[in-house]
A and B are shown apart, each in its own frame.
Chain A
Amino acid sequence: MPDWIAHVLVAWSLCTILGFKFKQFDTPNTVIAMIGSLIPDIFKIIIPLQYLGIYIGNFIYPIHLPVGSLIITVVISLFFKERKIIFLFLLFGFLTHYVLDFFLINLIGGMPLFFPLSWEQFEWGIIPADDYNFTLIIIVVALIVYFIKLNYIKFKKQDNNI
């Protein structure tokens, strides 16, 4: 997988850019999108369980597929006051996760994105799962977005003072 730094920063960067135009992409909702970007990786609970000798990867794998992520997104959004908008931001977040994971090299053919309707697997297969260079690129992009945002805020303040 791209690591969680990559997933979270991609969600943050996209929300920040969209925030220049749409006020719904404020900081609290951006945080929700960042959390949404990690929903598919709830599946990674198998890692500590493996250390305990418990192997359930082949059982809970649907969590790392859109159908499982969607169900979890609905459940999480039920426990927010602004249910509809939270659902949309979580959905936005987990969709960014799948876009990034689509780039991963996978020997067995990719992810069955339309499971349980279809078992057909999809992948693009460009990046090794443990490649931290990809994360470094995303960090650089996020820093650029951050500095653009800082300048945008400064510009808006000056504009309001005129």
Chain B
Amino acid sequence: MNFSNGLKPPKNRIIISIFLITALIGICFYYHFNFEYNEKYPSTDFILTNYPEGETVYVSGIFHGGYNGGFYIIDPSHKKVIYKINSSFTAEDGDTISIIGTLGPSFTITPQKIIINNGWKEYFLLIRSGIIAIILFFIFWRYWKFDFKNMEFIRRRI
């Protein structure tokens, strides 16, 4: 059987696509159930179940207010978890903060490394990425069109 002829009917390509997407979902499940055991440092999921006090952990979250000697961050995927970060770094509302540090009692972290992503920089990144995506869509449509009969994109004659 000629493989490329076998791909011509749209039905065959749809079946292959469903198979491939299913395989991708399976890979995603595998990642989801195993990534914690293969992370360099435990993160919030592990902290909530095992609380490895005294160990180096990785947490990230959004700035949630300051105090004398540090600030708080809230993990958006675990909204009840608020970490207290003992640090002289300053952060502002909207900043996303990633930390590797030593886990102390009551979700206190003494950082070893901190990365602070300014909130406005993140929004600016998203906006300019969104603009280029829209431009790219129109450029694509200028050179390609969809053949509904054969269910495939073909070049436009320009």
Verify that A and B bind, or say they do not. Answer: yes
Binding site for B on A (CB under 8 A): 1, 3-5, 8, 27-28, 31, 34-35, 38, 47, 50, 55, 57-63, 67-68, 71-72, 74-75, 78-83, 105, 107-109, 112, 115-116, 119, 121, 128-130, 132, 135
Chain B contact residues: helix, strand, loop or mixed:
helix
Stretch from B65-73, B86-94, B102-110, B132-140 forming part of the interface with A: B132-140
> Given that A61-B35, A116-B27 are contacting pairs, would A79 and B100 also be in contact in the complex, using a CB cutoff of 8 Å?
no
Interchain nearest-CB distance for A159 vs B (Å): 23
C-alpha gap A69/B129 in the complex (Å): 19
**B48 CB within 8 Å of chain A:** no
> Are B155 and A28 neighbours in the complex by a CB distance under 8 Å?
yes
Known: A59-B31, A75-B20, A130-B118. A4 touches B128 (CB 8 A): yes
| A4 and B133 within 8 A (CB) | yes
| Residues in chain B within 8 A of chain A (CB atoms) | 4, 7, 13, 16-17, 20-21, 23-24, 27-32, 34-35, 38-41, 45, 58, 76-77, 98-100, 113, 115, 117-118, 121-122, 124-126, 128-129, 132-133, 136, 139-140, 143-144, 147, 150-155
User: Could you tell me if A130 and B151 are in contact, using CB atoms closer than 8 angstroms?
Assistant: no
Name which of A3, A34, A82 has the most chain B CB atoms within 10 A of its CB.
A3
Min CB distance B93 to A, Å, is: 16
- CB neighbours (8 Å) of B16 from chain A are 78
Q: Is A8 within 8 A of B132, CB to CB?
A: yes
Nearest CB on B from A109, distance (A) = 4
